[in-house]
Amino acid sequence: MSTEFVDLLKKFPAGRRENLIPILQEFQDLHGFIPEPAVAAIAEYLEIPAVKIYSVATFYNEFRFNAGGRYHFQVCQGIGCQVDSSERIRSELGRLLEIEPGEITGDGWFSLEWVPCLGVCQEAPVLSVNGELYAKMTPVRLKELVDKFRNR
Amino acid sequence: MMIEIEVNGRKIKTQKGELILDTLKANGIHVPTLCNLEGFKPSGACRICVVEVEGRNDLVPSCSFFIEESMKIQTHSARVIQARKTILELLLSNHDDACLSCDRGRWCKLHELAFELNVTERKFGRTAGRKKIDNTSQAIIRDPSKCILCSRCVRVCEELQHVAALDFLKRGSRTEVGTVLDKGLNYSSCISCGQCIQVCPTGALKEKSHLDQVGALLQNKDKVPVAMIDPAVFATLGEFFGYKAGPEFSSILINALKRIGFQKVYGTGWGAEYQAGRLAGILIDKNPDENDTPLIFSECPSVVRYISQSRPALLSRLVPLKPANQIMAHLLRELTCNQTGKSKSDVSIVYLTSCTASKNETTAAMRIKGSGFLPDFSLTTREVYRLIRLYGIDVESLNPEFQEDFFGVGAKSGQLGAISGGNIEMLTRIIQARIPEANLSGEKAGKLRGIKDVKETTCEFNGKKLTLASISSITQFENYYKEIRSKHRKVDLLEVMACQHGCINGGGQPCRGAERNLRNRMKGVLEWDDRFSGIMTKDHLDLPSDLILNDEDCQAVFSPRQITK
């Protein structure tokens, strides 16, 4: 086990499975995703089967197992946004970036993900880029946003 | 406390706090189930077992609801039947339609239920696409498109086998059963025991078939096909044809296999006795107080795999003996070469077994040419049945025929190797034969027989007392091991089998009816043993001079295995 993993895991008591989600969150904060070897390390430390950890991590959309792009787009698919036609935002974004959800552009700049409700339904439809919220999106504003990041 | 409830208008006496399903079953009322697994905690996942309880608005799943006082239950009201039908229609909506080419065939529980509930058309359109088949393992193939998410495999893998290779991934409509990091069974902690195949209600799990290769082998005139039958197959295969387990069907099976084209047919019992003889030698020489950890004896490839990946510290305590089938494969290859004058590569040993894990080993043999100790192919009991059907053999018309004489000594006690405790029983007989004054506690008292999780016996000779134990299923092994460690109990030899109650309950056995037939299979094995009187002599292990096995040949080498754990 790498020392980096050990240092992170040491913050939590060993063998206590209730700490699984906080541990996964720490790994994700540190790397931007959960590295595959971390699954085995967590399993050993918490004394639970590795597949259980993968099961929990895939249950929540929050956790990811591959690195995102430089700009990680998360489009809300909550009910509020769907009523305010987030579907258009989703298809437009897919067209602009030429990738499917869960994929990353060839140059490594953009990645795309559908997420459940982001919690700002009054501003629907919303999306977040690297954790920063963009409210009341329209296809026009979306193109401006993508262009802004492209030219950075 | 006995209470009275009403089911379908009839009064029934039952225990308060019992599960509704158990009460119904005890009173002969059939309620269909899919996810319910006897002996395990109810999961209530499939809801096909719903019943109507008076005073409740919703239907309740009978597998996970307790009986309450003065309950009034309807098990087959119009509302209940309609609900079951809709549930099944929903399950079928995303189920693969490939029933005609599905190897589960008429043993599919889902198919049976669709018939039972009169579901004759696809009512709901498919919402999920075909999923990728996991064929990374050399023993077990998983087709998630056929999975109905009943969780039976997940529960068996974790609760019975302590392996936890499978679990639910993702969520909601995208839920699927998968392995860690979605890398496939071969990279998971799977030990290929095949218990998941046994409990799967559909064809989502199956063994990797060697039928095509064996078919090609039987047609090849240059090859000499030799069949080697595990005692567990002898004890079970008759179920498919309505025969009772035991010696009677065994001889018919031998005749059938010869008609199919196997030139020689042997049982593996001799090898089991031979290895038990070697084990007895190790035990007789063993100094009783040298180590606290018991010696672990296992012919089971799943157990060896489990220990090598999850408990590598115990590797040094595994008795380094090759399993019986490897000894037999080696000897049969040599013997057939001597008899037919063919070269070793022209002799193919086909191992008929109840074990799915043996497929891992035979696949290794297919890749490494000339690994003389491994069988070339292995067929599960289910595949043997299909082979007999394929060649159009009418089993009922066949006369009994006996297996090839193996150096003048047919297998006697060797059949016992198919049940848990059997190897220990063989061992005690050999010790008794070699040391007549030895005092054995187990055999006569029947301590090593029957359907029990832990079988223990003691054996006294030359002023030392040895405790011998037999365990089946990995969870039982873990529990027992922990118990003897915490209580500082001394156990000298521990026999471990991965499948509960031994190979007769192996992953390659018929998928249905194991609970019902287990006792019969066990009886069949013991009947065989009785018929051949089970006597062992001191010198029966002597081989002819051209077939010498030295210590090195019989030894096994174990090494730790790295997995994505």
Q: For residue B543, what pLDDT is reported?
A: 67
User: Which residue reads 């790295």 in tokens?
Assistant: B562
Q: Where are the domains of chain A?
A: 3-59, 71-150
- Domain span holding position B39: 2-90
Q: What mean pLDDT is predicted for residues B54-82?
A: 92
Helix (H, G, I), strand (E, B) or coil at B347: strand
CATH 1.10.10 fits A3-59, yes or no: yes
What is the pLDDT, as a whole number, of residue B416? 84
| Residues from B in contact with A at Cβ < 8 Å | 158, 164-171, 178-182, 188-189, 564-565
State whether the Cα torsion B331-B334-B339-B343 is positive or negative.
positive
Give the chain A residue whose CA is nearest to the CA of B180.
Answer: A51
Q: Looking at per-residue confidence, does B49 or B287 come out higher? A: B49
Rounded Cα–Cα distance for residues A23 and A27 (Å): 6
Q: Find the distance separating the first CA and the last CA of chain B, reported in whole Å.
A: 47
Q: Scanning every residue of chain A, which has its alpha carbon at the shortest distance from the alpha carbon of B181?
A: A54
Q: Would the CB atoms of A54 and B168 count as touching at under 8 Å?
A: no
| Mean pLDDT, range B480-495, rounded to an integer | 87
Domain final residue, candidates B174, B207, B240:
B207
pLDDT tens-digit map of B203-234: 999 999 999 999 999 998 888 999 998 888 88
| Residue B175 tokens, joined | 């839920």
User: What ipTM was reported for this prediction?
Assistant: 0.85
Residue B168 is predicted with a pLDDT of 93
CATH number of the CATH domain containing B268: 3.40.50.1780
- Record the pTM: 0.87
Mean pLDDT throughout B245-262? 84
Mean pLDDT to the nearest integer, A25-47: 89
Distance from CA of B411 to the nearest CA of A (A): 42
| pLDDT tens-digit series, residues B300-344 | 999 999 998 888 888 888 888 888 888 888 888 888 888 888 888
- Considering the domain architecture, whether residues B190 and B296 belong to the same structural domain is answered as no
Closest chain B residue to the Cα of A37, Cα to Cα? B564
The candidate with the shortest Cα–Cα distance to B366, out of B349, B381, B342, is: B349
Over residues A63-105, the pLDDT tens digits come to 888 888 889 888 888 888 888 888 888 888 888 888 888 788 8
Minimal Cα distance from A52: which residue of B? B167
pLDDT score at B541: 58
Q: What is the CATH number of the domain that holds B154?
A: 3.30.70.20
Supply the pLDDT for residue B546: 67
- B227: part of which helix (H) or strand (E)? strand B224-229
Closest by Cβ to B168, choosing from A43, A50, A55: A55
Place of tokens 């195949």: B197
**Rounded to an integer, what distance in angstroms lies between the CA atom of residue B156 and that of residue B158?**
5
Q: Do B18 and B117 reside in the same domain of the chain?
A: no
Q: In B447-500, where do the E strands start and end? A: 454-461, 464-472, 493-497
pLDDT at B412: 66
Q: What is the pLDDT of residues B125-172, one digit of tens each?
A: 887 778 899 999 999 999 999 999 999 999 999 999 999 999 999 888
- Measure in Å the smallest separation between the Cα of B565 and chain A Cα atoms: 5
Yes or no: say if B411 and B540 are a contact pair by the CB < 8 Å rule.
no
Same domain assignment for residues B180 and B123: yes
Q: Which of B185-189, B316-320, B363-367, B561-565 has the lowest mean pLDDT?
A: B561-565
DSSP state of A98: T
Beta strands in chain A (DSSP E): 71-76, 110-115, 127-129, 132-134
What is the dihedral sign for C-alpha B556, B560, B562, B565? Answer: positive
The confidence score (pLDDT) of residue B538 equals 44
Q: Is 70 exceeded by the pLDDT of residue B463? A: yes
A–B CB contacts, 8 A cutoff, strictly below: 47
Q: Which CATH number fits domain A71-150: 3.40.30.10, 3.40.50.460, 3.40.50.2000, 3.40.50.740?
A: 3.40.30.10
Phi, psi (rounded to 5 degrees) for B275:
-70, -35
- Whether residue A56 has pLDDT greater than 80: yes
Predicted pLDDT at B408: 46
Same domain, B63 and B30: yes
Residues of B in contact with A39 (CB under 8 A): 180-181, 564
Question: For residue B324, is it within any domain?
Answer: yes
What is the reported pLDDT for B288?
64
Do residues B466 and B494 make contact, with C-beta atoms less than 8 angstroms apart?
A: no
What mean pLDDT comes out for the span B102-110? 89
**pLDDT(B404) > 70:** no
With contact defined as beta carbons under 8 Å apart, do A33 and A25 qualify? no
Let me know whether B79 and B144 are in one domain: no
B458 pLDDT band (50/70/90 cuts)?
confident
Q: What is the pLDDT of residue B147?
A: 92
pLDDT digits (tens, 9 = 90+) for B25-39: 999 999 999 999 888
Q: State chain B's mean pLDDT as an integer.
A: 85
Over the stretch B169-180, which tens digit does the pLDDT of each residue have? 988 888 899 999
Q: Are B451 and B502 in contact (CB under 8 A)?
A: no
Nearest neighbour of A39 by CB, restricted to B170, B178, B181: B181
- pLDDT exceeds cutoff 90 at A2: no
Residues B201 and B290 in one domain: no
Q: Give the mean model confidence (pLDDT) for residues A43-71.
A: 89
Tell me: pLDDT of B98 over 80. Answer: yes
User: For residue A51, which residues of chain B lie inside 8 Å, CB to CB?
Assistant: 164-167, 178-180, 188-189
Contact indicator for A98, A105 with CB cutoff of 8 Å: yes
Q: Is the peptide bond before A125 cis (omega within 30 degrees of 0)?
A: yes
What is the total count of domains within chain B? 3
